[in-house]
Amino acid sequence: MKTPIRIGNASGFYGDRFSAVREMLTGGPLDVLTGDYLAELTMLILGRDRLKDPNRGYAKTFLRQLEENLGLAKEKGVKIVANAGGLNPAGLARALRELAEKLGVDAKIAHVEGDDLLPRAGELGLGSPLTANAYLGAWGIVDCLNAGADVVVTGRVTDASLIVGPAAAHFGWRRDDYDALAGAVVAGHVIECGAQATGGNYAFFTEHELGVPGFPIAEIEADGASVITKHEGTGGVVNVGTVTAQLLYEITGARYAGPDVTSRFDTMTLTQDGPDRVRITGARGEAPPPTLKVCLNTVGGFRNETTFVLTGLDIEAKAALVREQLETALKAKPPAEVRWTLARTDHQDADTEQRASALLHCAVKDADPKVAGRAFSGAAIELALASYPGFHVTAPPSDASPYGVYTASFVDASEVPHVAVRPDGERVDIAPAVETRELSDVDDPALPEPLPAGPARKVALGAVFGARSGDKGGSANVGVWARSDEAWRWLAHALTVEELKRLLPETAELPVHRYLLPNLRAVNFVVDGLLGEGVASQARFDPQAKALGEWLRGRHIEIPEVLL
């Protein structure tokens, strides 16, 4: 039986802490260091980079990080696996070989490609997007590591595949070792977002000395069980709460589908295994679905915005006046979409001008950059001496900027090439899964026994419960978890879809789905359409729904006093 493999993560997004690669390599023992650089928005950014220069399209930050750390990783025997290849993994691999030669480091570089479906978008019924990338799985990474690669860079693979690949190569898992693979997916899902697993963005952060959190590590065992931890002496905290929060991030129901395995998030058990150590056991897996998800980004048009500052008295009347004036000025050729939001940040009898002010935000979109650009900005600023008293805006007017639209599609896995390009240049085709299973929801589990009736008090939901929220295209999820069995008994009965819509009126007219995860003492809600056309379209104040869970925790609700 092989010893556990120790896999660290040094990046949760393109722009994460630059020094994390060196911190992870010098902070303690590792077998593999991974980095996640891709998100739906990142693919759009890289797509625009590639339009300017076909040789671009990868995460340049990663190249700079390895310029400082490639020799150190080789010296310590740490393999590196990252999806920093973006839209051009071959280009990044080539640049890494040139870098290794320049540094005099004997590093074997491999890459995985095939996810880029843009040349075949029309043939596959995907329209005419700017980017079209299928989510590949772990087996191309496995082949590259088995061929002796020191560094493997990929394009669009699932985030967890960066962790599953090294684990599968280390233990020699077969493609139908579903439980082991599911366990690695679970571990990967926990650490893929970096410091979110070690106390970052954590609901109960006031209970801990957060400092600058270290990055997470998964110690994965031969059966897929794992321990989530971090290097000793680094900031942050790893406990059942931080791991639960990350497990609830950007999921739907109990079945978490991937190209290699569908992981059952209703099966694993979390236990505290010592300071900053959480053990995850019992994950079960099923055959993957027959299709692969495809991330499509298109340029939706052009957008612009301005924010009017309304100070002192008559806030509503001031907002109504400037809105009427601007819409009249734009009547000859109005933008295709105009969105107004008034944030009542003002306070009565305020002791500072800022505290006396509210913010009226106007955002516009149109296919014509002139309509969304100078026509809008000019009309807004021309009101400066002709509108409400105290007129001013938070920033000068600007030209329109292009915005992206994200959509997800699905194609049969057999239509997507998956190619491992080994260090010696040999190209190996990775076959799709032979055994597949159509994805379906799990039947709702039985509700726990409700708490006995008793006195209750109206307090913030977050006084007792944690939450974590995020985006999936135009939809958002918010997972809420309890920290005791008694609190779970109340939560499962009290926080229904109807109650969520009451607490978050912005969701009231949207489809909302609730999923129960008793093993995590959690409920997860998916709100369809909350984010419009996705983060790149900037359709909402919080376009990635990162703070949706904190808004929910801040709402007041009758909670039994026994839980307080």
Q: Taking the alpha carbons of 131, 414, 261, 437 in that order, is the dihedral positive or negative?
A: positive
Return the residue matching tokens 């805006």.
393
Q: Which tokens sit at 411?
A: 């194609």
Residue matched to tokens 């090439």: 417
- Cα 27 to its chain centre, rounded Å, is 26
Buried b (16+ CB within 10 A) or exposed e, 299-330: bbbbbbbbbbbbbeeebeebbebbbebbeebb
Please count the CA atoms within 13 angstroms of the CA of 474 that sit on its side-chain side: 15
**Cα–Cα distance, 81 to 151 (Å, whole number):** 6
As given in the structure block, the two tokens for residue 192 are: 């893929």
Q: Structural domain boundaries of the chain?
A: 299-404, 456-563
Amino acid symbol at 560 = P
User: Which is nearest to 114 in space by CA: 95, 139, 97, 94?
Assistant: 139
Which pTM value belongs to this model?
0.95
212 with 185: CB under 8 angstroms? Answer: no
376 to 309, 311, 319: CA distances (angstroms): 17, 23, 17
How many whole angstroms separate alpha carbon 85 and alpha carbon 83? 5
Q: Cα(539)–Cα(512) distance, rounded to whole angstroms?
A: 19
Please state, in angstroms and rounded to a whole number, the distance separating the CA atoms of residues 219 and 277.
10
| Alpha helices in 474-513, H assignment, sequence order | 485-494, 497-503
DSSP 393: E
Homologous superfamily assigned to 299-404: Ribosomal protein S10 (3.30.70.600)
Rounded-to-10 torsion of CA 93, 98, 99, 100: 90
- Rg of the chain on CA atoms, in Å: 25
Query: Digits of tens for pLDDT over the chain (564 positions)?
Result: 689 999 999 999 999 999 999 999 999 999 999 999 998 889 988 998 998 998 899 999 999 999 999 999 999 999 999 999 999 999 999 999 999 999 999 999 999 999 999 999 999 999 999 999 999 999 999 999 999 999 999 999 999 999 999 999 999 999 999 999 999 999 999 999 999 999 999 999 999 999 999 999 999 999 999 999 999 999 999 999 999 999 999 999 999 999 999 999 999 999 999 999 999 999 999 999 999 999 999 989 999 999 999 999 999 999 999 999 999 999 999 999 999 999 999 999 999 999 999 999 999 999 999 999 999 999 999 999 999 999 999 988 789 998 989 999 999 999 999 999 999 999 999 999 999 999 999 998 999 999 999 999 999 999 999 999 999 889 999 999 999 999 999 999 999 999 999 999 999 999 999 999 999 999 999 999 999 887 777 767 888 999 999 999 999 999 999 999
